[in-house]
Structures are given as C-alpha cells and as structure tokens.
Amino acid sequence: EPPDTPKDFSCQTQDMKTVTCTWSQGGDTYLYGRHSPKYTLSEEFSQKTVPCTVSCSEQCSCSWDIGQQKICNITVTVENPLGKRTATDIFDVTHRIHPAAPFQLWEECTDTEITLYWKHRNKEVELFCQTEVLQPNGKVELHNSSDTRLHYASITLGGLQPYTEYIARVRCGAAKHFWRWSEWSEARTIRTKEATPSGKLDIWREITPVLGGRNVTLFWKKAPSFQANGRSISYEVTWEKLEDGSKPESLSLSSVHNSTRISIDNHSYRISIMAKNNVNYSLPSVLIIPRATGNSRKLSGSELKEEQVNGTDDGIFISWEPKHIYDSYVIDWCNFPMWQPCDFQWKRFGPNTSSALISSAAFVPGVRYNFHIYGSVANRASLLEKKTGYLRELPPLCDPSVEKIELTFNAVTLSWYSYPTNEPQSGFLRGYHVYVSPIQEDCSLKGSKKHILPDDSVLCKYTIENPEEKRYTVKHLLSNTKYKLVVKAYTGGGETPIVNFIYIDTPFNSNMLYLLVLLVLVPSLVAAICHWKMKWVKECCCPVIPSPNKSKVLSFKEFKIGSEKVLKISDCIPDVLAVDSKAEAQKL
C-alpha cells in the first residue's frame, strides 16, 4: 500500500538553535526492507534538504541546527514504490520554544514559608514558570512566577503549616509567545520548620471518691483546631489547690500517653494540661474540680434517675434539657463498658445544642451504653442527666430459672429466681411470658392468647408486663392432666426461641370425690334405714287411718277435751257419716 500522510507533524525548539520535528507514522504499508517507507525533510525557503537523521519508535523525530534562520517552512515527505505523501509546518522559531525541564531544585524554609529555587538551561529565553504544591490533605495548588535572572529562578510559598511535609515540582514555558510547558522537574519533598503548638488540647476527667479524697483520671486528645507543629510532643499536667494557694504539683508525660490519674483531697483544684514540642508550650487547657461536699452519692450523680434512650442504625440519640447558665455541654461514655480500661470517650457541644447523635465504630447490638451529660461554665462542670441505651436491643441472654411450683387440681403457681434488672443485659427487660399447654393436645385456656410454635402446636400465652414481678398463677387447668410450661423473659429485642419445657401433673380433684360420696352414699344409707324401719316409717308417714289431729278439717275453732281437739257435729255438715265398727265408735 502507499504510505499514509504523516499525522501531527510539528516542529519546536528548546534554545532557538536546534529544531526538532515530530510526527506519527501512519498505518502499515506491508512493504519491508528496501521497499519500506523513506522519510526526508526539506526547508522550502532555502530549497535545501534538512540535514537530519529520522528515528522512529512510537513517534518519528528529526533534529538539526538551524543557525540564524528564524522563519522556517519544513516539509516531511514519506514515500515507497507505491506512492508518497507530504506534510508541512511553517513557523517562527521564537514562537515554538519548548523549554527543558528545570533542574537542581533546593529550598530555604521557615515554619510557614518555603522559598524554592531551581536552575534552567534556557538562559537566553525569558521563562514563565509554574510550581505545583501537593498539600498534606491531597489538595494540589498551582503557583505562577516569572524570573528574568539567567542562572536560577525562585518562588516563595507562604501560608503553610509548621512542621508539615509538602511536595513541590516546577515546569516552565516561554514568557513571550508561549508554546508549551516544559516537562515537570523532579518532585522535591520539603518539611517546614517547627513552631509553638497552636490551639488547645481537649481535656476531660472522671472523678472517683475514695477515703479522704478523690481519684481524678484525666484524659486529653487533640482538638480539631490543635496542631502539634513539631517533631516531638510531650504533655505537662499541673494541679494546684485553689483555697490556700499552695505550691502546684506537675507531671510530664510522653506522647504515647493520653490519660493519667492523680489523687487530690476534698478541696477545690485547678488542673491544666499543656502540649510541648521542641519550641514551646501550647496554651493551657483548664478544668476546675469543685470542693467535695462529703456526699458521695451527689458527687457521682447516683441520685439522678437514669433515662432509657433508643438507638438507630447510625448511633444512639441523646437529648437533654438545656440551661442558659452553661457555655458548653459534655457527654461522656465508654466504648467498651465491660472492659477495663473501657476506652473512655467524650464529646463537647455548644451552648445552643440540646441533642446529639452519638456514634462510634465500637458500638454493637446487645451492649448497654451509659451516658453522662454535663453542663460546663468557666471550666466547672456539673452532672445534669444520665442516659442508658442500646444501639439495638437483643433477646435476653438467659431465661428465668423457675424455683418453686405450687399445684392445685385446677391451677399452678410459678415462682422464678430474680432476673436482675440493673445488671448489664442484651436489652431492657420489659417483662415475662408464661407458656402452658397440655401434652396431648393444643391449649385453649380461658384468659390466654394463642401462641403457635414452628411445629404448628398451640400454646397458651400469658404476659407479665412488670419486670419486677416474679410470680404468676395459671388458672382453669384440668385436674389429673399432664401439662408442659415455660417462663421466658423478653426485651425490646424480643425473646429467645422456646427449647426446654417444665412438665407437671395436676392432682385429682378431691371435691369431686366428696360430691360423689354425697350423691351415692347418702341416698343408699337412707334407703337402707327406711327398709330396716319399714313398719315404723309406714305408720309414721302413711298410716291406715290418719290422725284427726293432723287433718286440715281440725282447723276450725278449737274445742278441746283434755289435750285433743274435738269436732262437734254442729261445726260441720257431713255428706256421709259411716262408722266401721262399734269398737272404733267407742274409741272415738
């Protein structure tokens, strides 16, 4: 194939003496050896072939000395036996300056400034340079400068942080008729000098009453505004009694420490902590520890009721009642409350804040976190509120242990060991569930709710909503029946699956036996007596001739002969009067 026209043909110079032209080769011609493409360059104004040797790799290039010529018309010709192609570039050499990269960089530093120097090879050309500075936070800044000095150039970079590493490099272009930037110089890592630490440390304390005084554990961390500004940091802790102006005590700690414990008596104390580097101390951070009142409960805030708070996916939400007298608020907690040390943490808030979302990568479900909220004014802190909560509640770690079972024929009373409500659990204990069911059938006791197990069996469920209640009676049971039952504690995270049951047998109902005796034995006894005294019973209950004294006919006005009532013939008019025998008549 014939060759392609050279692409991106362009010429430039570094020093206005030597010109270099470059171009792209184009596609493969599939001709090799002596038939491969041949390149030649010519200058049209002088009608001369350019005396240069073409070399091609990724790009083709050719360089030569132009002498005093300033305007050039360069044509590149590529040909093979099947054809030829040309490309032309007309240019002013002073407009095609591509400087060499700056070299031999060095610097002079203070704590906030760097003056960077470099050399360049284009001494006859006035350059415009650009310095790239990589900040510690990854941000890149560009600074422009121009310098007409022939031997070296410089730029001063200000507003830098003390004792901080910066990475700088430089490139240049022609100040007049800018064509292209040079390549970047080698990057140089520069550290500014040390300075006095800026800002203050963020400090806090934990006070523990002991016999005759208090142990104060002091904590500190670098506040967002604090800068160490030095190579070696140490800490100076000073405490002094406020009442009598006694001599202060102090303690120096290395950079690996972020806490210490001191012992003080019950007087008021002023505690300050400063950071120190090789230059000077930082401003002091101050805490005032008030005089102990002698009431350890008040000092520890144990009289404050601990309020339950709820967790979210992002953290634990805390709110408090703000008071205008405080200039800031502090919340403290332990990231690992079951460990010692517990990774004590604290966070400060402004005077207009009344809520916060406390988050930590250490927070996990099922762990109870305790928070103390303090109001601070003039470096004196007062405990305002106490909160406790979970990132997410989980079911209880264990079930209550039933310690006593009281049985009757139709009820069972369960008593279980105290399930501690004040010890760390996997959730706030809300109450208990009692599950009951006959062994051979599903349960349907009066006053209960149905609970269906995974195997589709049905239990009766009773709910005790008071976590302090440790006793419950299940009623309406059947006598002489086998039952299974279990007591489960539940939290805001629910309860664990039912695994183990307690089995009971209700006793026989003795009242039924007594009733059976009354219904069977008593009538039988009466019948036997009646059979034994038949004649007497018959005479007493069903005589052949009734006694007149027991007849209603004797309800008339009484007429007695002796102790018996006598019926006068005139008192009534009989329909028929008959006398059975003389003996009976005589008797009457």
What is the tens place of the pLDDT at every residue in 155-179? Answer: 999 999 999 999 999 999 998 889 9
Per-residue pLDDT at 364: 94
Which of 35-39, 77-81, 190-194 bottoms out in mean pLDDT, i.e. has the lowest?
A: 35-39
Please give the average per-residue pLDDT across 199-219, as a whole number: 94
What is the tens place of the pLDDT at every residue in 263-308? Answer: 999 999 999 999 999 999 999 999 999 998 755 444 455 678 899 9
What is the tens place of the pLDDT at every residue in 494-542? Answer: 999 998 899 999 888 666 555 555 666 667 777 777 667 666 656 666 6
Q: pLDDT band at residue 244, thresholds of 50, 70 and 90?
A: confident
| 465 found inside a domain | yes
Last residue of a domain, one of 295, 321, 349: 295
Please give the average per-residue pLDDT across 479-503, as a whole number: 91
Identify the residue with better confidence: 79 or 100: 100
C-alpha to C-alpha distances, 524 to 470, 519, 527, 528, 529, nearest whole angstrom: 50, 9, 5, 6, 9
Do 430 and 386 reside in the same domain of the chain?
no
Cβ–Cβ < 8 Å for 537, 529: no
Please give the average per-residue pLDDT across 17-44, as a whole number: 79
CB atoms within 10 A of CB 459: 23
**pLDDT at residue 462 tops 60:** yes
Please give the average per-residue pLDDT across 113-141, as a whole number: 90
Q: Work out the end-to-end distance of the chain between its first and last CA atoms, rounded to an integer number of angstroms.
A: 170
Query: Whole-number mean pLDDT of the chain?
Result: 85
Please give the average per-residue pLDDT across 563-587, as a whole number: 59
Last residue of a domain, one of 191, 226, 261: 191
Do 369 and 406 reside in the same domain of the chain?
no
Do 183 and 114 reside in the same domain of the chain?
yes
| 154 found inside a domain | yes
Which of 67-71, 365-369, 456-460 bottoms out in mean pLDDT, i.e. has the lowest?
A: 67-71
Please give the average per-residue pLDDT across 393-418, as a whole number: 89
* Domain of residue 368, CATH code: 2.60.40.10
Cβ–Cβ < 8 Å for 221, 258: yes
What is the tens place of the pLDDT at every residue in 41-97? Answer: 888 888 888 888 888 887 889 999 888 888 999 898 888 778 888 899 999 998 999
Per-residue pLDDT at 29: 59
Do 127 and 86 reside in the same domain of the chain?
no
How is residue 449 annotated by DSSP? E
Per-residue pLDDT at 43: 86
| 98 found inside a domain | no
Do 286 and 338 reside in the same domain of the chain?
no
| 344 found inside a domain | yes
Question: Nearest CA to 66 among 51, 81, 80?
Answer: 51
User: CA torsion, points 226, 227, 230, 234, in degrees to nearest 10?
Assistant: 20
Which of 33-37, 56-60, 121-125, 133-137 bottoms out in mean pLDDT, i.e. has the lowest?
A: 33-37
| 555 found inside a domain | no
Write phi, then psi, for 111 (nearest 5 degrees).
-75, -20
Do 69 and 29 reside in the same domain of the chain?
yes
User: CA torsion, points 49, 51, 55, 60, in degrees to nearest 10?
Assistant: -50
| 27 found inside a domain | yes
pTM: predicted TM-score of the whole model, two decimal places: 0.68
| 585 found inside a domain | no
| 511 found inside a domain | no
Listed in order, strand segments (DSSP E) in 258-401 are: 259-264, 269-276, 285-289, 306-309, 316-319, 328-334, 344-349, 355-358, 368-377, 380-390
C-alpha to C-alpha distances, 184 to 10, 132, 142, 558, nearest whole angstrom: 21, 9, 13, 152
Question: Nearest CA to 74 among 62, 57, 83, 84?
Answer: 62
Do 149 and 232 reside in the same domain of the chain?
no
Q: How far apart are CA 358 and CA 311, in angstroms?
A: 9
Burial of 269 (0-12, 13-18, 19+ CB in 10 A): buried
Per-residue pLDDT at 193: 95
Q: pLDDT band at residue 399, thresholds of 50, 70 and 90?
A: confident
**pLDDT at residue 578 tops 80:** no
Q: pLDDT band at residue 565, thresholds of 50, 70 and 90?
A: low
Total domains present in the chain: 5
Please give the average per-residue pLDDT across 340-367, as a whole number: 94
Last residue of a domain, one of 481, 506, 531: 506
Please give the average per-residue pLDDT across 120-128, as a whole number: 83
Q: Which domain holds residue 382?
A: 304-390
How is residue 344 annotated by DSSP? E
**pLDDT at residue 436 tops 90:** yes
